[in-house]
Amino acid sequence: MLKRLLGCLIVATWASNAGADEASLRTAIQSAYPKVKVVSVVKTPYTGLYEVFLDSMIIYTDDKFSFFIVEGRLIDTKSRKDLTSERIEQLTRVDFDSLPLDQAIKVVRGNGSRKLVVFSDPDCPFCKRLEQEGLSGLNDVTIYTLLYPLERHPDAGNKAKAIWCAPDKAKAWQNWVLNGQLPTGNATCATPVDKNLDLGQKLGVNSTPTLYFADGKRLLGARPAKEIEKSLNEAAKK
């Protein structure tokens, strides 16, 4: 509860400092880097420092964009809070109920009461590790897997189609990620892969696996089972 209150306080404080400078700074950044998507620009409570949210990362700069800090962490010396991590968590949250779960492979364990969405690439080794070490032992959870083949894995799209077009999608996905066995036969159905890719781009999903919990929280990578269990329980309380 204290963490949530602190997060709200930070958002309110930063928002109160907003002004015309944000618009001109956004223009300057976009002019210098036209291919970069500037999601938001916010003046921080720290003198002359601006937070710029680019897709799924934060950089810091001044009002003239005369420098920028990449992959740095903003730490408040009094509270010792990692404000960058807290802001990224706030800015990357989603409305879970708005996610197109009909475009996902659904696996139900136990009563399925807790919910989790995973963007996963069939040829991503970390996705397989997540399934084998992070998800396989979970109970009372519904896992929705959005097939998300990345360009750097040229055969992932074919594997995604074969799995989606199998008579039992959930079984086909589990056979692949746990046992390395793909469905046999020709894959001749329409798939939601293109829609998943569009959705992922809108959400700033640029790596797999990417996990979303029912409270909107996002986690990246093959997280251990204990961390996933903790996030599932926290989401269930809200």
For residue range 66-98, list pLDDT tens digits in order: 999 998 899 999 999 999 988 988 898 999 999
Question: pTM here?
Answer: 0.80
Average pLDDT over residues 103-131: 97
CATH fold of 2-91, please?
Nuclear Transport Factor 2; Chain: A, (3.10.450)
**Partners of 156 in the beta sheet?**
none
Query: What's the CATH class of domain 96-237?
Result: alpha beta
Q: Domains of the chain: which residue ranges?
A: 2-91, 96-237
Q: List pLDDT tens digits, range 25-59.
A: 999 999 999 988 899 999 999 999 999 998 778 99
Angle between the 193-203 and 156-164 helix axes, to the nearest 10 degrees? 120
Q: Kind of pairing, strands 105-109 and 68-70?
A: unpaired
Sheet with 68-70, strands from edge to edge, namely 38-43, 50-54, 57-61, 68-70
Q: What three-state secondary structure class fits 155?
A: coil
Mean pLDDT of all residues in the chain? 89
Instruction: In whole angstroms, give the CA distance from residue 20 to residue 10.
Output: 20
